[in-house]
Amino acid sequence: MTAASPLAADAPEILLAPFSPDHLTGALRLSRETGWPHRAVDWELTLSVSQGVVALQGNEVVGTALCSLFGEVAAINMIIVDARMRGRGLGRKLMQAVLEIGGTRELRLTATADGLPLYEKLGFEATGEIFQHQGIAKAAAPELPVQVGAKADAAELAAMDRAASGMDRATLIAGIADRGELLRAEGGFALLREFGRGRVLGPVVAQDAATARALIAAGATRCAGQFLRVDLADAALAAHAEALGLAYVGGGTAMKKAARAAAETDFTTYALASQALG
């Protein structure tokens, strides 16, 4: 390490501080350098339902971590460490800080391959896989009727979402509905909004796979010729997504800590709102 290196011994100490809107520019730099597609407004949406911490070296943001509190569940997300700072235990410090925010709630996250070993050491256990599909969407007729819903339906949607996920996300669902479009079917719904390189479809919540397929087809049709992403929680829908122009490009591992018994429900989350927010 040379004297001119940003990691030289006389570099400012790295300190943790509460995440505030003032840190969004630095956080956006980190996510871009990591290869994540988030725009500033995508960070703002996540932060609007979250608390968190940043790691600061002087005035520079070199690490981020958020915790989104959804009733009895907390979603841990946006764990990023500047590439120059890795291997120094900063990721663990950021995680410990947001785990304290989560408290005694059930803790959930979607792990990247790089983050998986740390999360396992911190007591998280894998519960499934998330399948990220994206591409230029193709139109297709839904197999069941789907309509465009009204934003006033947000409370009803939040109840379906809570039944499916166990998370109280009324504020998030209303926020997404306000920013995007709502698709309704008998026994399910999906939300479509701008995100990253184009648009994202999620969550997709339904009583059965046929309804989920219809909602995904309707979303793809509304985005035909445009970039669309969907993060599937059910691998059985992969072929359907691919037929709509949405190729599998990777994903993550769904993990939980302090998991609680899930209540019986008629609803299932077939696609996530985002990998950050579940």
Written as one string, the DSSP assignment of 44-61 is: HHHHHTEEEEEEEETTEE
Q: Within a domain: residue 116?
A: no
Domain end (from 40, 69, 104): 104
Cβ-contact 260, 197 below 8 angstroms: no
Cβ-contact 203, 182 below 8 angstroms: no
Q: Within a domain: residue 150?
A: yes
Residues in the chain: 278
- Note the pLDDT of residue 2: 28
Is 97 found in the same domain as 135?
Answer: no
* Residue 85: CATH number of its domain: 3.40.630.30
Q: Within a domain: residue 266?
A: yes
- Note the pLDDT of residue 152: 74
- Note the pLDDT of residue 1: 27
Q: Within a domain: residue 2?
A: no
Cβ-contact 131, 235 below 8 angstroms: yes
Q: What is the pTM of this model?
A: 0.93
Is 136 found in the same domain as 65?
Answer: no
Q: Within a domain: residue 264?
A: yes
Is 251 found in the same domain as 185?
Answer: yes
What is the β-pairing status of strands 146-148 and 125-136?
Answer: unpaired
Is 212 found in the same domain as 142?
Answer: yes
- Note the pLDDT of residue 242: 98
Is 211 found in the same domain as 157?
Answer: yes
- Note the pLDDT of residue 4: 29
Is 179 found in the same domain as 70?
Answer: no
**Which distant-in-sequence residues (6+ apart) come within 8 Å of 16 by Cβ?**
53, 54, 55, 56, 93, 94, 97
* Residue 171: CATH number of its domain: 3.40.630.90
d(CA 11, CA 97): 23
> Cβ-count burial of 34 within 10 angstroms (0-12 exposed, 13-18 middle, 19+ buried)?
middle
- Note the pLDDT of residue 5: 31
Angle at CA of residue 111, ends 137 and 40, nearest 5°: 60
Tokens of 80: 């990023």
Is 145 found in the same domain as 92?
Answer: no
How many domains does one find in the chain?
A: 2
Q: What is the pLDDT along the chain (278 residues), one digit of tens a residue?
A: 223 234 334 568 999 999 999 999 999 999 999 999 999 999 999 999 999 999 999 999 999 999 999 999 999 999 999 999 998 999 999 999 999 999 999 999 999 999 999 999 999 999 999 999 999 999 999 999 999 998 778 889 999 999 999 999 999 999 999 999 999 999 999 999 999 999 999 999 999 999 999 999 999 999 999 999 999 999 999 999 999 999 999 999 999 999 999 889 999 999 999 999 99
- Reported as type and span, the H/E element at residue 217 is helix 209-222
Q: Which domain holds residue 54?
A: 14-104
Is 139 found in the same domain as 30?
Answer: no
Cβ-contact 148, 163 below 8 angstroms: no
